[in-house]
Amino acid sequence: MALECGRDRAKPALLFADVADNPGGGGRGNTVWILEAFHQAGVEGALLGIFFDPALAAEAHALGAGAAFHARFNRDEAHPLSGRFEAGAVVEGLHDGNVVGRCGIAAGHTIVLGPMALLRVGGVRVVVVSVRQQCKDTAMFEVFGVDIAAARSVVVKSRGHFRAAFDLLFPDDRIVEVDVPGLTTPVLSRVPYRDVPRPVFPLDADFAWSP
């Protein structure tokens, strides 16, 4: 779907919600699966945010705007659901991470994200932050001068709060909830539970119960 949006500007742009990696619900905010898939497929005109990786943000600040380098996402991450991803990148922007929300639950509030960097990784621009937070406001992209309306696809690491901020750009029929590996997956049957008595609802459907 993202490939089609990038290739055909006549198609409406789409927003993809990475619901399984929502820091507002306990996600780590750094799963690489959608980024890796978009990059490998050659998606163009995409934005992704916000990606929690302090080491990567620090490296981008040390290199400076305009620098080209080999970006290593999650070099210091050990959780298996986060994954690791490496690719060539260009530092397109840097920011101190003090962002004032514009809409929804963050409107008028200062959000502290630590040193931030806007990286171009192929056809995807990624906002990397140093403080874990869900992508709940358009300002998290706009502090870099990014025109979200010009993007062909946008990926947000949020479960629901993003809707109050992005709804003017993306009505419900242009929002796609994507379930990839992550701690906040809404598909409970995919979670590798241990020490849970079975059968149990809603993990199991094929059983009956009576009082």
Q: State the pLDDT at residue 192.
A: 83
Q: State the pLDDT at residue 11.
A: 95
CA–chain centroid gap for 155, Å, is: 5
Helix (H/G/I), strand (E/B), else coil: 150? helix
H helices present in 131-203, as ranges: 139-142, 163-166
Distance CA 156, CA 22 (A): 9
Q: State the pLDDT at residue 205.
A: 80
Helix (H/G/I), strand (E/B), else coil: 103? coil
Residue 30 half-sphere exposure toward CB, CA atoms < 13 A? 25
Distance CA 167, CA 153 (A): 14
Q: What is the mean pLDDT of the chain?
A: 95
Q: State the pLDDT at residue 201.
A: 82
Q: State the pLDDT at residue 207.
A: 79
Distance CA 133, CA 40 (A): 26
Tokens 């080491």 sit on residue: 55
Q: State the pLDDT at residue 149.
A: 96
Spans of the chain below 70 pLDDT: none
User: In b/e form, how buried is each residue of 22-42, taking b as 16+ CB within 10 angstroms?
Assistant: bbbbebbbbbbbbbbebbeee
Q: State the pLDDT at residue 210.
A: 83
**Structure tokens, 71:** 């970006």
Distance CA 177, CA 11 (A): 19
Q: State the pLDDT at residue 8.
A: 96
pTM for the model: 0.93
Q: State the pLDDT at residue 108.
A: 95
pLDDT digits (tens, 9 = 90+) for 96-144: 999 999 988 999 999 999 999 999 999 999 999 999 999 999 999 999 9
